[in-house]
Structures are given as C-alpha cells and as structure tokens.
Amino acid sequence: MVGTLVFVAIVVLVVLYAVVLYNKLVQGRNEVKNAFSGIDVQLKRRHDLIPNLIETVKGYAAHEKGTLDAVVQARQQAVSFSGGVEERAKVENALSQTLRSLFAVAEAYPDLKANQNFIALQEELSGTENKIGFARQYYNDSAMRYKNRIEMFPGNIIAGNFGFLAEPFFQLEEAADRAVPQVKF
C-alpha cells in the first residue's frame, strides 16, 4: 500500500514537472513571437518614413532617379513581404543597403544636407534604426532562451514530443552591416 502511494506520488510529480516544462516552452515561443512583432513595429515605422525622405531628396537630386527608384523598390518589397524571419532579414538588409546609397547621394548636395526637413527625417530614421537594433537584440535574446529550453534536457523530450521548433536568429548578412556607419555632414 505504501509502495503504491509512493509510486503514484512520483508519477504525479513527474506529470506536474512535464506540465511546467510544457508551459515554459509555450511561454518561450510566445515571447519570441512578441519580440518579432516588436521588430515589425519598428520596421513599419521605418517603411513609413522612407516616402517622406524620398520626396525631400527628389526636390534636390532629381537626376539621381536610379538611387531613388532602388530605395522605393526595396521599400515596396519590405512592406509587402510576408515570409519567415531569415527571409525577412534579407529583405530588410537590402533596404538598409539602398538607404545607405541614398544618404551617400545626399552627401553631394549641400543644400539638401542643410534642409531642415531632411535633417529631421534623417534623425527620425536614425532613431528608428536604433530602435530596430534594440528590437532585434530582444528578439535574438528571446529566441536564444527559447532554443535553450528546447535543446536542454529534459525540455528537449517535451519539445520533441509536442513539436516545438527553434526560431532562427535575426542576423545581418554582410560583414559591412556589422561596421559602425560613418555619417558626415
């Protein structure tokens, strides 16, 4: 009788522990989704700033149509994109590259660099880029914690049985993206 009660108590504890692990995995997955939505919010903000920036630059650098068109096209791809994290990172990295070339074009136009509208938009975009960086860091931290829960014992047993999969990190593609940008006016 006592042996049966001990066995039942052990089984109940194991089941409770499995439930707690399962709930932590669900919590981790939801935290990763929330973190990615934070990136999306900041990316949307950046996407919304770009048309105003383009219009401001158009007034000063009308013959730089190729650069402006590339930024517009990259923005449109980013806005309409609906794929996964890794593909999203590639699309956003392409947009970042075209924005760099737009700011390089602005270097050639002193009047544009002095335009208050352009300066305000550039500062807003710079602040948004910082927020995107923080959102990416939070996402990657969340994805790492979640991945650790999935891969470490005994969570890996529960994760494997219930189909929990690790989320990819939001990474920069090119080594040049890791460099600190130099902004000169």
Q: What is the pLDDT of residues 10-28, one digit of tens each?
A: 999 999 999 999 999 999 9
Tell me the pLDDT band of 180, cut-offs 50, 70 and 90.
Answer: very low
Quote the number of domains for the chain.
Answer: 1
Q: What pLDDT score does 108 carry?
A: 79
Q: Is residue 148 part of a domain?
A: yes
Q: Is residue 174 part of a domain?
A: yes
Tell me the pLDDT band of 110, cut-offs 50, 70 and 90.
Answer: confident
pTM of the predicted model, to two decimals?
0.76
The C-alpha torsion from 168 through 173 and 178 to 184, rounded to 10°, is -130
Q: Is residue 185 part of a domain?
A: no
Q: b/e per residue, 38-53, with b = 16+ CB within 10 A?
A: bbeebbeebbebbeeb
CA distances from 183 to 107, 126, 180 (A): 9, 10, 10
Q: Is residue 29 part of a domain?
A: yes
Q: Could you tell me the CATH number of the domain that includes residue 14? A: 1.20.1440.20
| DSSP string for residues in 45-101 | HHHHHHHHHHHHHHHH-TT-HHHHHHHHHHHHHHHH----HHHHHHHHHHHHHHHHH
- Is the pLDDT assigned to residue 163 strictly greater than 50? yes
- Asked which of 6-20, 58-72, 149-163 is least confident by mean pLDDT, the reply is 58-72
Tell me the pLDDT band of 174, cut-offs 50, 70 and 90.
Answer: low
According to the per-residue pLDDT averaged within each range, which of 63-72, 84-93, 167-176 is highest?
84-93
Largest Cα separation within the chain, whole Å, is 90
What value does the mean pLDDT of the chain take?
87
Average pLDDT of the segment spanning 62-70: 80
Q: Is residue 184 part of a domain?
A: no
Q: Is residue 183 part of a domain?
A: no
Q: Is residue 30 part of a domain?
A: yes
> What domain range is 73 assigned to?
2-178
